Amino acid sequence: MAMDESLRELYQEVILDHSRHPHHFGALADATHRGEGYNPLCGDRVKVYLHVGGDGRIEDVSFEGRGCAISQASASLMTDLVKGRTLAESEKLMNGFLHLVKGDSATALEGEDRERLDVMAGVSAFPMRVKCATLAWHTMKSALEEGGTTAKTK
């Protein structure tokens, strides 16, 4: 199914806006979990900071880094969506997002989450850019799995 041209332009504008004006950008002083990700193919770098509360909910999240518009926009969208969510909810979002950008069925994404992440669906047409879109998400997952130590992803 071909994407309507006006919708494609809107999605491109949303990606560029998130890239130029990223949400939750900067170090998080009281982070309980930190991760660093690097994509050697294009040079994108990201650091993800999370403050996970005792109830297993992501109370705060931020990122720092440099990279292409897709990697920066994806990190910005990710921070918007996981803030306030439980770790299980965040993992479900991540799995849905990974399916979405790979062009697979993203049935785990529903409602508003699906609408907000659909802007990245076009990445699936550019396999070399999938790593750009998923870098921050993999970095967040590594940070959470490492239990608060700094994680590295490639």
Chunked mean pLDDT (size 10), the chain, 154 residues? 67 87 94 94 93 94 95 95 95 93 86 90 88 95 76 47
Sign, CA torsion 9/43/99/48: negative
pLDDT of residue 151: 45
- Tokens 């809107």 belong to residue: 10
- Measured in residues, the chain has a length of 154
Could you tell me the residue ranges of all domains in the chain? 14-145
Q: List all residues 6 or more positions away from 149 whose beta carbon is below 8 Å from its beta carbon.
A: 34
Q: What is the C-alpha to C-alpha distance for residues 134 and 127, in angstroms, rounded to an integer? A: 11
Q: CA-based diameter of the chain, in Å?
A: 46
Exposure string over 81-104, b if 16+ CB within 10 A, otherwise e: bbbebebebbbbbbebbbbbbeee
pLDDT of residue 93: 94
Q: What topology does CATH give the domain 14-145?
A: Sufe protein. Chain: A (3.90.1010)
pLDDT of residue 148: 55
pLDDT of residue 27: 96
pTM of the entire predicted model: 0.89
